Every structure is written in C-alpha cells, then in structure tokens.
C-alpha cells in the first residue's frame, strides 16, 4: 500500500480524529482487571489497541464488540487465565510494556512477541523494575529486546522505583504491577510524562497519591467496573494541526480532542511558532479533559523544543519537525534521543526524509536543527513501517512541488484507521 500526495489549497472544514491510543489501551486493561462489566466507547479501532483486546481475550477476558468503536469488557477481578499460546503484541510497545506489569503478578508464564519493529525495541526498562518486585522476566532477543518471557509471581512486593528514562509506559507497567503487589508502590518521575494511567486508576476507583514527581498506589485495590468514553487522540490531531497552522488561509475545526495537559505540548509549541489555535474551556469527563480545537493558518517561525517539554510532545516531534521545515528561521529539537527507539529511529528517518524533500537539516545525537523556509519538493519516501513517519510526510507532501509518494503505509492502521480517506477528503476541499 502507498500514499501519493500533491500540493493542495489551504485545508478548511472539520475533521474528527479517532479515539486516543494511550487511553484506549489503559481503558481496556483497567476494565479487564475490574470487578464487572465496562462499556468502552470511541475505543480506537487501530491495530495497536485491537491487539491489546486480542491479548486480553487470550488471557480469558470476555470482550464483546457492540459497534466498530464500542466494546464491552467483562472484568476478571485481577485473575487472568494462563494463555495457551504466545501473546502477539504486533507493533505496539504500549501493549507489551503495560501488559508486562499485569502479567508480572500472574501465577503463570507468558511469552510476549511482536513484529519486526517491536522486536527491536528495548524492554530492559520494564524488566528491571518488575524483577525488583519479584517476577522473572527474560528478553529472548539481542540487547534486551523481545520476545519477552514473564514468569509471573502472585506474591509481588511493592517497590519504590525512580524512572531512568522519562517513559509513561514504564511508569504505567510498574503502577499496574503495584496494584497487584503487597504494599505501596511508588514511581518517581524526574520529568513529567503523560498521566493517563493515574487519572484512569482514580476514575476506576483506585486511589493514587501524587506529590510532585512521586506517584503511589497501594496493592490489593482493584478497579471498580466503569464505562469510559475515549476522547479523540491529540497525537492524531497533530497532523491536521500542523497542516492547517502552516498554511495561510487554512481553517480547521477538530471536535472532542483529548486536552490532558500532559499531552497538549503540541499546542504550546505551535503557538510559540506563531500559530492561531483555540482550545479553551475543555470539559473534564471521567477524569480526562477534552474539547474542540480550532486552528487558523498563518506563516510560522522556528522555535526550540527541548528539556522537560520533550515527553509531552514525544509522539508529535516528527510532524513538528515538518512544521519547522515549513517555518521561517531555525527550529531546534534537543534532548529527544528516545526518538531513536520508537517504531523506527525517528531522528534518523525524519532528518533523512526532510533532506530528501529539499529541507536544510542537521541531525544530532539527541535531536536536529532545521533551517526552515526552503521550498519542499516531492520525493519517494519509505515509511519504515512507522505510522507517524508515514502520516507526518503525507502532510509534508501537501506543501511540496510535484508528487510525494509514501511507501508501505499499511502501518497507519496501527493508530489512525481512516487517515488516508480523511486526507483525500480535506485535500479535495470537502468539509
Ligand atoms: C505511551 C508513551 C510514550 C509514547 C507512546 C505511548 C503510552 O512512550 O511515545 O506512543 O501510552 O504510555 P514511552 O513511554 O516509551 O515514552
């Protein structure tokens, strides 16, 4: 599968993005742990989150599908049944890392596998804290990579664990294991990362203590059954935000997008670059703020994205790099070496693809410098099986002379089913 893109007039109209990926995974897992029936609405029907449902079903959780984005999960009160086969996490790091936390406390062995990309991603970051809690985890791949074999321990002990990397997935794996452990588990995060796990635990009736960077949960308090409606994914909205913000004359409305402050860094960065974005007065339902976003296009200027802001925009950096190339002046991305261990080495791939389109870019070990304003031209670009690379460069193609061809775009299905159809509709001026 491939995507072919040409320059379009400014985007106008409305676009509804699918449910948030991070929240969908967590809602499914907490519902599965809960003590009853939970309806999940606007669940992301992307391959990553469907993979989490598949894994949970393999663990004996009954899950009914009542609509394309609507599932009913029958919680098993924290007791999974031993799987008879490997648990295939597909392309999804979130599935593998968060499920590791839950499986660490089960009285059986599980083996988690993934596709070629997930099989290259580091798992020591979850192995270390979960071993400290008393589970036995073995990475079968080279350098601590999947497959991951977990010999669970139903008598896990609480830990106090300081995150060595600013990762919400690692934080969540430890907190989820902590729910099923003896004592109070504390994760210390030196830099703030997305807090969906903490908010959702509280919404599902599990107390979470938060003091500065210390987050604690007590063992033995299982989630209470709750229904949850997943807000739209701001990381998916990011592609349209940049497409419209950089294009004078553009005007896009994005209804019902998640506006959790640990995820809205993209709005702050684009505003700093001169974008006009309205996203005020979010409503907070079920613990997660959401609201409508309105973006109006203008000429942007470069900015610096670094430090504590990085975890907040980690998934948006590829499309923000594209925004940098389309802006006047220089955009600098620093402190983002984590991007090298995502679905692809996103620093290398983004720098390569921007150069291929005519941008002026220097790659650094932990980021890049983009001297914006060079005219972009179409190019044939590999997705590297990375959904966010495919989508970021599809958007870049809207600004390039000639045709941009993104190869191997099946990966877009992991987080954004319907992206290509929405792109075609907006590019043809239908709102
Ligand atoms: C996620 C956390 C981030 C992010 C990923 C989803 C989550 O990963 O990049 O897409 O849902 O917790 P890290 O925890 O590796 O930073």
DSSP calls for 127-169: HHHHHHTT-EEEE-SGGGPSPEEEE--TT-B--EEE-SS--HH
10 & 70 share domain: no
Nearest-atom index, ligand 1, CA of 169: 14
222 falls within a domain: no
Average pLDDT rounded to a whole number, residues 155-172: 98
Residues 90 and 152 in one domain: yes
% pLDDT > 70, the chain? 99
Same domain? For 209 and 241 the reply is: no
| 224 belongs to a structural domain | no
Give distance in angstroms: CA of 8 to centre of ligand 1.
Answer: 32
Query: Which among 215, 248, 283 is the end of a domain?
Result: 215
Atom of ligand 1 nearest to the CA of 166: 16
Determine the distance separating the centroid of ligand 1 and the alpha carbon of 431, expressed in angstroms: 32
This prediction's pTM: 0.98
For residues 200 and 327, membership in a common domain is answered with no
Which of 215, 250, 279 is the C-terminal boundary of a domain? 215
User: Per-residue pLDDT tens for 229-254?
Assistant: 999 999 999 999 999 999 999 999 99
Atom of ligand 1 nearest to the CA of 341: 15
Angle in degrees, CA 198, 200, 203, rounded to 5: 115
- Residue position matching structure tokens 């802006």: 327
> Percent of the chain having pLDDT more than 90?
97
> Angle at Cα 108 formed by Cα 102 and Cα 111, nearest 5°?
75
Decide: 295 and 244 in contact? Cβ < 8 Å. Answer: yes
Residues across the chain: 431
Output the CA 167–ligand 1 centroid distance in Å.
Answer: 6
Is 386 found in the same domain as 244? yes
How far apart are the CA of 125 and the centre of ligand 1, in A? 13
Q: What is the pLDDT of residue 430?
A: 59
Decide if 398 contacts 8 (C-beta within 8 A): yes
Q: pLDDT tens, 165-203?
A: 999 999 999 999 999 999 999 999 999 999 999 999 999
Mean pLDDT, to the nearest integer, of 396-425? 97
Tally the domains of the chain. 2
- Choose one of 164, 184, 215: the last residue of a domain: 215
Q: Which of 314, 320, 386 to mutate to test the pocket of ligand 1 (most atoms within 8 A of CB)?
A: 314
Task: Say yes or no to pLDDT of 429 above 80.
Answer: no
pLDDT at 431 over 70: no
* Residue-range definition of the domain harbouring residue 353: 2-19+231-427
**Does residue 359 have a pLDDT over 70?**
yes
**CATH number, domain at 310?**
3.65.10.10
344 lines ligand 1 (CB under 6 A): no
Supply the DSSP symbol for 308: G
User: Is 115 part of the annotated catalytic residue set?
Assistant: no
Among 26, 29, 93, 199, residue to substitute to test ligand 1 (most atoms within 8 Å of Cβ)? 93
Q: Which pLDDT band, with edges at 50, 70 and 90, does 280 fall under?
A: confident
């Amino acid at each position: 599968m491939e995507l072919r893109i040409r320059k379009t007039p400014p985007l106008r109209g409305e676009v509804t993005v699918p449910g948030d990926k991070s929240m969908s995974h967590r809602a499914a897992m907490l519902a599965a742990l809960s003590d009853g029936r939970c309806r999940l609405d606007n669940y992301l029907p992307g391959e990553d989150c469907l993979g989490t449902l598949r894994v949970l079903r393999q663990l004996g959780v009954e899950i009914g599908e009542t609509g394309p984005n609507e599932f009913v999960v029958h919680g098993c009160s924290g007791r999974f049944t031993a799987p008879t086969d490997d648990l295939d996490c597909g392309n999804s790091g979130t599935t593998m890392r968060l499920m590791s936390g839950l499986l660490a406390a089960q009285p059986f062995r599980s083996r988690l596998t993934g596709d070629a990309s997930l099989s290259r991603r580091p798992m020591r970051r979850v192995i270390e804290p979960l071993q400290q809690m008393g589970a036995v985890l073995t990475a079968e791949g080279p350098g601590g990579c999947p497959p991951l074999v977990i010999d669970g321990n139903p008598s896990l002990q609480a830990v106090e664990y300081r995150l060595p990397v600013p990762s919400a997935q690692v934080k969540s794996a430890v907190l989820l294991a902590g729910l099923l452990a003896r004592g109070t588990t504390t994760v210390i995060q030196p830099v703030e990362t997305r807090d969906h796990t903490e908010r959702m635990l509280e919404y599902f009736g599990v107390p979470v203590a938060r003091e500065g960077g210390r987050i604690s949960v007590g063992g033995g308090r299982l989630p209470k059954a709750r229904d949850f409606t997943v807000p739209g994914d701001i990381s998916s909205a990011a592609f349209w935000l940049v497409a419209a913000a950089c294009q004078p004359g553009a005007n896009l409305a994005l209804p019902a997008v998640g506006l959790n402050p640990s995820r809205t860094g993209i709005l702050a960065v684009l505003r700093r670059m001169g974008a006009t974005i309205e996203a005020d007065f979010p409503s907070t339902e079920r613990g997660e703020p959401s609201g409508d976003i309105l973006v109006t296009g203008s000429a942007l200027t470069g900015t610096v994205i670094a430090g504590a802001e990085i975890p907040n925009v980690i998934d948006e950096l590829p499309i923000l790099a594209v925004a940098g190339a389309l802006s006047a002046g220089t955009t600098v991305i620093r402190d983002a070496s984590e991007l090298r261990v995502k679905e692809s080495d996103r620093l290398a791939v983004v720098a390569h693809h921007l150069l291929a389109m005519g941008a002026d870019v220097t790659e650094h070990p932990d980021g890049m410098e983009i001297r914006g304003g060079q005219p972009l031209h179409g190019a044939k670009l590999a997705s590297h099986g990375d959904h966010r690379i495919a989508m970021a460069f599809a958007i870049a193609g809207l600004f390039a002379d000639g045709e941009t061809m993104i190869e191997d775009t099946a990966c877009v299905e992991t987080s954004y089913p319907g992206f290509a159809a929405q792109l075609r509709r907006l590019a043809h001026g239908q709102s």
